[in-house]
Amino acid sequence: MKSGVAYAGCVTKYKGSEILESFDIPFSNEANNQMALSQGWSVQVSIEGSIDHPDGQLLTAQFQSNGISDESAVALSFLWSGWSEHNYVLVPGAVYAGNRFEARELSYAPCWSRLEDGGPDVPNLITDVPRLSSQQGLPSAFHLLTGDAATPSIGIMDKASATGWLFVFEQGTTLGDSSIHVAENADRSAARISVQSPGVRPSMKYEMATTKVPSTDRGHDFKPGDAAQLSCRIYRFACPSVQTLFERFAEVRQKELPSAELARSLPFSAAWEIQERKYNEMNWNVELGYYAVGTIDMKHQDWQVGWVGGGMSSLALLLEGSEVSVHRALDTLRFLFGSQAESGFFHGVCYKGQWYGDEFNDAPDRRHPEQWHILRKSADALYFIMKHLLVLKEIHPDFVVPADWLEGTRRLADAFVRLWHKYGQFGQWVHTGTGDILIGGSAAGGIAPAGLALCGKYFKEDSYTSVAELAARHYYKQFTAQGITTGGPGEILQCPDSESAFALLESYMVLYETTGEPEWIPMAEEAALQAMTWCVSYDFRFPRGSTFEQLGIRTTGSVIANVQNKHSAPGICTLSGDSLLKLYRATGNKLYMELLREIAGNLPQYLSRADRPVRGWEGWDMPPGYMSERVNMSDWEGKENVGEVIPYSCWCEVSLMLTYAELPGIYVDKTTGSVTVIDQVICVLEETEGSARPLRITNPTAFQAEIKLLAESEEEAALPLGPCGYLQWSRIKVEPGETVLVDLFDND
């Protein structure tokens, strides 16, 4: 084939996880219903369709052992000649650009202060994660289980030929979960791409921040007549840029899957009642007056600004909470402004009234003790402070914003402006005292342009808006356009991650809505499709008897955090995803609304509650209102913890709170009559003989539901929603089992 890709079956025999023997069984790339034979194995191959057709080619291979073959695995392999190390390699949620970056071997939590590398121009450094080698002459391969990926698939952009490829697999076979492999030869001129059953990672496997854990995977003991079937859907297409790869992936990631149904749980409003009670009973710090990010008496569960929820949960409580919650939300802001350092940035951590830096290394000889600050945290703070101020203006117009809040907000914005003018970037880590960059690079501050844009509009200060636009274009050129976003979480060095991808989407959309300039929409679309690759596209089959298997958890719409911490999670850290709603309104592309429905609509199932507790892996039920960030499809924390959760209260609770505060439970396009349901109700826009078209809403749950409804025409949707648009939406109460009719419009 012109592509230089040949197909083969492959049989590998192991001793433990060590390869004893491996041989290929070549077959035609095109002929249907062919039989291939080799060394006691037969392969019946079925090929339907064409790799160049939009529907792709379905390749199915039935392997049968004609003898005894102990500890063996079978595979579909794609043998690639004319390969190049410059090819972009994607495994959604696990590998971006091959993860081909310089790596440092550090135990968790990896800290920059343990490295000699530093400064504004530090190269992109990652931890010891599965990756292709960045150095010539060294072995270059990665081996993953399908549960490591958001979609079991591999994408390739062959830069030399401007050709894209996608190989989409299933989670597993009757032999269990499969494995995904990419291996290059010594001079990077050839590569092998494989999906194997059962999944065996040869020799070593990945666990927390290291690829050097002995693999416990084992092959299957085949007896005469035993069979295993593997299938793969293959696509080839013109691919002039990496964005085309993401666009094609978005089209096929859920192909052949049924329409994703939301996990039946409880309405957002019922979840809110549980969460608000929990936050006031368990998260409120009485002594110092703020909503803590967790409930455990430990340093990083007390106060952290931004990132994991400090000064973010308070926005939801300000919008939806009781009088007590509103008062405490405002007190949280008071505490936040009391934590501002001389530089204008914030101290990152408070524990029992003592301020700490953000880095995790407690060694006494570390550089800049207690002065390391994760820039992303102050970026989050700027964005959410502005959202607080805008909300206060709308719903509490009589509230006089304290002068020190306004001054502190400007000091924070000025700190970002100084960074930009001094370095031409925001960097990843800054010195709390001086405001200078300690570690440059990464997309960690990707949400800062959103905060600056809102700040510029609020204060009528053009310099903030100007830097927001310059920084956003820089992020687009350096990250979005390259198909890589890195370093959003503070404990992954600069590994690729989902949090910075969603942060950039947020910034592009805020800039579109504040400036009215259409240039930001294509950037937002590119960011959204890259963010989509981190979102699980199917319902993972958890091990029988695991907590999530017993609870019937559906993983569709959960979001993988980054390539180091290989768990998926409930929701976006730490956002509602309303940028997807705004992007849908601006483009009419239903992909964005469907992704939002899957992310937001499946959140309540993860909430522990009195009538349905979620048991943590330590053996006790989490209290009502707890949500764990762990959606473990990967065995990165041990095989025994797949489908199990760490019993901590954490940031994903804030994502659910913001979801109720900022998203409609029902969205109706009055022009087309389409209805999107995100909340736990059933909706039908009825056809009637008269002029009215009532919306029939049924609450099938055992909880009262207060549903937010956004119904608008295409002309109305073309107008920016703005930072507080949700304040205008209708609210509809529906009792358990009740059906109500809502008149939206008439046909005249």
Round to whole Å and give the CA distance between 516 and 226: 63
244 backbone dihedrals φ, ψ, rounded to 5°: -60, -35
Round to whole Å and give the CA distance between 479 and 472: 10
pLDDT of residue 689: 66
Mode of pairing for the β-strands spanning 284-285 and 290-291? antiparallel
Give the ranges where 623-692 is alpha helix by DSSP (H): 652-662
CB 570 within 8 A of CB 598: no
Q: State which amino acid sits at residue 305.
A: V
Helices (H) and strands (E) in the chain, counts: 16, 37
Round to whole Å and give the CA distance between 269 and 275: 10
CA dihedral 169, 171, 175, 181 (to 10 degrees): 60
pLDDT of residue 208: 95
Secondary element (H or E) of residue 4? none
pLDDT of residue 691: 60
Secondary element (H or E) of residue 549? helix 547-551
Give the tens place of pLDDT for each residue, 268-289: 999 999 999 999 999 999 999 9
Q: Is the pLDDT at 353 greater than 90, yes or no?
A: yes
List CB contacts of 238: < 8 A, sequence separation 6 or more. 162, 163, 164, 244
491 backbone dihedrals φ, ψ, rounded to 5°: -125, 35
Round to whole Å and give the CA distance between 283 and 324: 14
Secondary element (H or E) of residue 556? none
Tell me the β-bridge partners of 568.
560, 631
Round to whole Å and give the CA distance between 258 and 237: 25
Q: Is the pLDDT at 747 greater than 50, yes or no?
A: no
pLDDT of residue 126: 98
Mapped onto helix, strand or coil, the DSSP state of residue 168 is strand
Quick one: which of 83, 97, 172 has its CA closest to 129? Answer: 97
What is the distance between the terminal CA atoms of the chain, rounded to a whole angstrom?
A: 59
Round to whole Å and give the CA distance between 574 and 377: 11
Q: Based on the number of CB atoms within 10 Å of its own CB, is 466 exposed (0-12), middle (13-18) or buried (19 or more)? A: middle
Quick one: which of 332, 395, 291 has its CA closest to 725? Answer: 395
Give the tens place of pLDDT for each residue, 634-689: 999 999 999 999 999 999 999 999 999 999 999 999 999 999 999 999 999 987 76
**What letter would DSSP give residue 347?**
P
pLDDT of residue 688: 72
pLDDT of residue 2: 45
pLDDT of residue 363: 76
277 backbone dihedrals φ, ψ, rounded to 5°: -60, -45
Q: Is the pLDDT at 744 greater than 90, yes or no?
A: no
171 backbone dihedrals φ, ψ, rounded to 5°: -60, -40
Give the tens place of pLDDT for each residue, 575-622: 999 999 999 999 999 999 999 999 999 999 999 999 999 999 999 999
Largest pairwise CA distance in the chain: 83
pLDDT of residue 148: 98
Secondary element (H or E) of residue 379? helix 375-395
CB 374 within 8 A of CB 490: yes
CB 529 within 8 A of CB 247: yes
Q: Based on the number of CB atoms within 10 Å of its own CB, is 614 exposed (0-12), middle (13-18) or buried (19 or more)? A: buried
Quick one: which of 231, 185, 211, 217 has its CA closest to 75? Answer: 231
pLDDT of residue 366: 79
Q: 159-189 in b/e burial notation, b at 16+ Cβ within 10 A?
A: eeeebbbbbbbbbbbebbbbbbbbbbeeebe
Half-sphere exposure of 580 (CA within 13 A, CB side): 28
**What letter would DSSP give residue 499?**
H
Q: What percent of the chain has pLDDT over 90?
A: 93
Tell me the β-bridge partners of 210.
207
Mode of pairing for the β-strands spanning 125-127 and 102-104? parallel
Query: How many whole angstroms from its chain centre is CA 648?
Result: 20
How many residues are listed for the chain in this entry? 748
Give the tens place of pLDDT for each residue, 560-569: 999 999 999 9
Q: Is the pLDDT at 746 greater than 70, yes or no?
A: no
Query: How many whole angstroms from its chain centre is CA 536?
Result: 8
63 backbone dihedrals φ, ψ, rounded to 5°: -90, 135
Q: How confident is the model over 165-172, as a mean pLDDT? A: 98
Give the tens place of pLDDT for each residue, 188-241: 999 999 999 999 999 999 999 999 999 999 999 999 999 999 999 999 999 999
Q: Is the pLDDT at 748 greater than 60, yes or no?
A: no
Domain locations along the chain: 5-95+130-251, 666-746
Supply 536's token pair: 């699980």
CB 147 within 8 A of CB 635: yes
Q: Based on the number of CB atoms within 10 Å of its own CB, is 598 exposed (0-12), middle (13-18) or buried (19 or more)? A: buried
Q: How confident is the model over 79-108, as a mean pLDDT? A: 97
63: number of Cβ within 10 Å:
27
User: Sign of the CA dihedral 637, 639, 642, 644?
Assistant: negative
The owner of tokens 């994991």 is 308
Tell me the β-bridge partners of 291.
284
pLDDT of residue 729: 96
Round to whole Å and give the CA distance between 440 and 124: 9
pLDDT band at 467 (very low <50, low <70, confident <90, very high): very high
Q: Is the pLDDT at 3 greater than 60, yes or no?
A: no
Average pLDDT, the chain: 96
CA geometry: angle 461, 465, 469, nearest 5 deg:
165
CB 343 within 8 A of CB 376: no
Tell me the β-bridge partners of 194.
77, 181
Secondary element (H or E) of residue 80? strand 69-81
Q: How confident is the model over 123-128, as a mean pLDDT? A: 96
Round to whole Å and give the CA distance between 746 and 748: 6
Q: How confident is the model over 408-424, as a mean pLDDT? A: 98
pLDDT band at 31 (very low <50, low <70, confident <90, very high): confident
CA distances 526 to 251, 531, 533, Å, are: 14, 9, 11
Tell me the β-bridge partners of 491.
none
Query: How many whole angstroms from its chain centre is CA 52?
Result: 30
pLDDT of residue 36: 87
DSSP of 248-301: HHHHHTTTTSPPPPPPP---HHHHHHHHHHHIIIIIEETTTTEE-S-SSSSHHH
